[in-house]
Amino acid sequence: SQQGEEDPQALSIQEGENATMNCSYKTSINNLQWYRQNSGRGLVHLILIRSNEREKHSGRLRVTLDTSKKSSSLLITASRAADTASYFCATDAGDYKLSFGAGTTVTVRA
């Protein structure tokens, strides 16, 4: 069943700008993960944040988690054309089964 819901559904930005997308979920989680999918391809893991963490960084990615609001955000700084993709949040309740949202489609314009 769907757990995460991303917002917005689509985002178009200029190269060099920051992109922010949000994920909301319904039930308690052990961790939340973000994945990227280039058009029609497999998903690539970007970053994992555990329920006891509030913020995590990886390169140009910054993820926050607010368990009281059951929400997470993914920030991509200084976007590049290669960041054009769909981004999915996935929640793990601790049973190693990921529940994905419908994704945010990001287009970075040159």
Partner 1 sequence: ETGVTQTPRHLVMGMTNKKSLKCEQHLGHNAMYWYKQSAKKPLELMFVYNFKEQTENNSVPSRFSPECPNSSHLFLHLHTLQPEDSALYLCASSRRGEETQYFGPGTRLLVL
Rounded to the nearest 5°, which phi and psi values hold at 7? -145, 130
Total residues in contact with partner 1, by rule CB under 8 A: 23
Q: Does 12 contact partner 1 by CB under 8 A?
A: no
Stretch that binds partner 1, among 14-22, 56-64, 65-73, 92-100 (CB under 8 A): 92-100
Q: Does 39 contact partner 1 by CB under 8 A?
A: no
Pairing of strands 31-37, 85-92: antiparallel
CB 72 within 8 A of CB 23: yes
For partner 1, give the closer residue by CB, 24 or 99. 99
For partner 1, give the closer residue by CB, 13 or 102. 102
Stretch that binds partner 1, among 11-19, 42-50, 57-65, 66-74 (CB under 8 A): 42-50
Binding mask 50-69 for partner 1 (x = CB under 8 A): --------------------
The neighbouring-strand residues paired with 36 are 44, 87
Helix (H, G, I), strand (E, B) or coil at 77: coil
Nearest-angstrom CA–CA distance, 86 and 39: 8
